[in-house]
């Protein structure tokens, strides 16, 4: 049975995102089985679970890259059936697993492409805010993105998503493959974004770090929600500790 935790930072009022009875499949194989969750404005909501639990599939379903049934409401309107580009235009931003920057393009051009759905693209003020957040990107602004380190590419992927001015940011394993110090930096960036009003869904292999900064979390197990609650509640839950935290 899912556990219930304390309410998150933005839990009052209508949720920004509401998912009901969501099922997703690849061909004949159903990966998500009746998932339900909510995200309120100003929250970090973590999605945790073992490899193959359905975390990335859930993000793909939200952005329109998986075959789904059920209901997905974003800011009070159904987005089911809309193509991915329309969901992004409506305010979803994606930081994909594996970063997926354009390696031959410069850092600046990667950032500008992140705003292609905006009328007129990202202005210089917008780019300046991103470069101020990630000073290393300013230092390497003219370099091809493929020459950046893994941590720098992850910062670029986050900056690229922010260039589209998303109202809900979907981050898929942002710390994957990074050294522990860089993992801490990326997690801190996500926390800072929340403090600045950016709402996020965070899929993260480092479950302890995610639970320490999130407002609420859902733990997926074979395509179903096994636990849900606040970060502190799930950190203290012996079942979560034994199954997912290595405690």
- Digit-by-digit pLDDT tens for the chain (247 residues) are 444 443 444 455 789 999 999 999 988 899 999 999 999 999 999 999 988 899 999 999 999 999 999 999 999 999 999 999 999 999 999 999 887 899 999 999 999 888 876 655 556 778 888 999 999 999 999 999 999 998 899 999 999 999 988 999 999 999 888 888 888 888 999 999 999 999 999 998 889 999 999 999 999 999 999 999 999 999 999 988 888 776 6
Tell me how far apart the alpha carbons of residues 246 and 226 are, in angstroms, rounded to a whole number. Answer: 17
Could you give the number of structural domains in the chain? 2
Q: Write down the pLDDT at residue 145.
A: 94
Q: Write down the pLDDT at residue 107.
A: 95
Q: Write down the pLDDT at residue 181.
A: 84
Q: Write down the pLDDT at residue 5.
A: 40
Distance, C-alpha 85 to centroid of its chain? 17
Claim to verify: residue 116 and residue 180 sit in the same structural domain: no
Q: Write down the pLDDT at residue 8.
A: 44
Claim to verify: residue 138 and residue 83 sit in the same structural domain: no
Tell me how far apart the alpha carbons of residues 155 and 171 are, in angstroms, rounded to a whole number. Answer: 12
Q: Which of 123, 144, 166 is the last residue of a domain?
A: 166
Q: Which of 139, 166, 193 is the last residue of a domain?
A: 166
Q: Write down the pLDDT at residue 177.
A: 82
Q: What is the pTM of this model?
A: 0.88
Structure tokens belonging to residue 123: 């202005």
DSSP 3-state helix, strand, coil percentages of the chain (rounded to 5)? 35, 25, 35
Parent domain of 180? 1-91+169-247
Q: Write down the pLDDT at residue 117.
A: 66
Claim to verify: residue 38 and residue 85 sit in the same structural domain: yes
Claim to verify: residue 198 and residue 240 sit in the same structural domain: yes
Claim to verify: residue 32 and residue 124 sit in the same structural domain: no
Q: Write down the pLDDT at residue 123.
A: 63
Q: Which of 143, 166, 189 is the last residue of a domain?
A: 166
């Amino acid at each position: 049975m899912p556990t219930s935790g304390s309410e998150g930072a933005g839990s009052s009022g209508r949720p920004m995102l509401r998912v009901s009875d969501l099922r997703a499949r690849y061909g004949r194989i159903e990966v998500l089985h009746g998932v339900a969750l909510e995200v309120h404005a100003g929250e970090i909501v973590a999605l945790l679970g073992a490899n193959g639990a359905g975390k990335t599939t859930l993000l793909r379903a939200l952005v329109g890259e998986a075959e789904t049934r059920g209901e997905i409401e974003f800011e009070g309107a159904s987005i089911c059936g809309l193509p991915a580009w329309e969901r992004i235009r409506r305010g979803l931003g994606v930081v994909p697993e594996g970063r997926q920057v354009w390696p031959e393009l410069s850092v600046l051009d990667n950032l500008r492409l992140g705003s292609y759905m905006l009328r007129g693209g990202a202005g210089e003020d917008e780019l300046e805010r991103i470069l101020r957040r990630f000073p290393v990107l300013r230092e390497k602004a003219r370099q091809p993105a493929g020459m950046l380190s893994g941590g720098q590419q992850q910062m670029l992927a986050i900056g690229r998503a922010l260039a589209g001015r998303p109202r809900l940011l979907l981050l898929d394993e942002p710390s994957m493959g990074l050294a522990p110090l860089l993992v801490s930096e990326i997690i801190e960036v996500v926390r800072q974004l929340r403090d600045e009003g950016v709402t996020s869904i965070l899929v993260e292999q480092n479950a302890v770090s995610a639970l320490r900064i999130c407002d609420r979390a859902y733990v997926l197990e074979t395509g179903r929600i096994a636990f849900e609650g606040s970060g502190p509640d799930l950190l203290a839950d012996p079942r979560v500790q034994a199954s997912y935290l290595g405690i």
